[in-house]
Amino acid sequence: MTFAPRTWVVGEVVTAALLNQEIRDQINSMLAAWTSYTPTWQSSGTAPNLNNGTIVGRHMKIGRTVIATINQTNGSTTTYGTGNYNWTLPFQAANAGANLIGLAHYLGTARWNGTTVISANATTMSPFFSTANNDTRIDFMTNSKPETLASGGQTRMTFLYEAAA
């Protein structure tokens, strides 16, 4: 709900309705519950299909600042496709000339910590994980990185970025 504040003019009568709109409603929107959204899981290759898995996205937008989370649990009929994975953002990222970094976590047969990357002007974000247990370099998440994905595996991502509008 947060938006640009009103420009007041000399001699304008301040009413309760205007104060509610300009102050109360703005503050309430920043204190409100997060908004649900349904991210789309995509790939640079053959598309994955969540089937009986679950995905939940939530976000809070204050001005152009977006804080969001995605939690995905793979199901017994989930197919993993090929290529590098990405998930849709709730709002397009600003063309700010910077890549933004968030947190990623994959819980499978092991726990893997990673990062999320949101490029300038992007509509998706990508998680990156270590390529092996003994390797600190990171690469795109795929059907076999950070480990072979399986039913019950959980991908959790949290990120903050500037929206385009």
pLDDT value of residue 31: 82
- Which residue bears the tokens 């809070």? 60
Q: Model pTM?
A: 0.85
| Nearest 10 degrees: Cα torsion 9, 14, 19, 20 | -120
pLDDT value of residue 131: 83
Residue 59 identity: H
**DSSP string covering 33-53:** PPEEE---EEESSSPPB-TT-
- Which residue bears the tokens 């290759």? 45
- Which residue bears the tokens 């939940």? 56
What whole-number distance in Å separates Cα of residue 116 and Cα of residue 122?
Answer: 13
Would you write out the chain's pLDDT as a tens digit for each of its 165 residues? 556 778 889 999 999 998 888 888 888 877 889 999 999 999 999 999 999 999 999 999 988 999 999 999 999 999 999 999 999 999 999 998 778 889 999 999 999 999 999 999 999 999 999 887 787 889 999 999 999 999 999 999 999 999 998
pLDDT value of residue 21: 87
User: Mapping DSSP to helix (H, G, I), strand (E, B) and coil, where does residue 19 land?
Assistant: helix
What whole-number distance in Å separates Cα of residue 121 and Cα of residue 93?
Answer: 5
Secondary element (H or E) of residue 26: helix 25-31
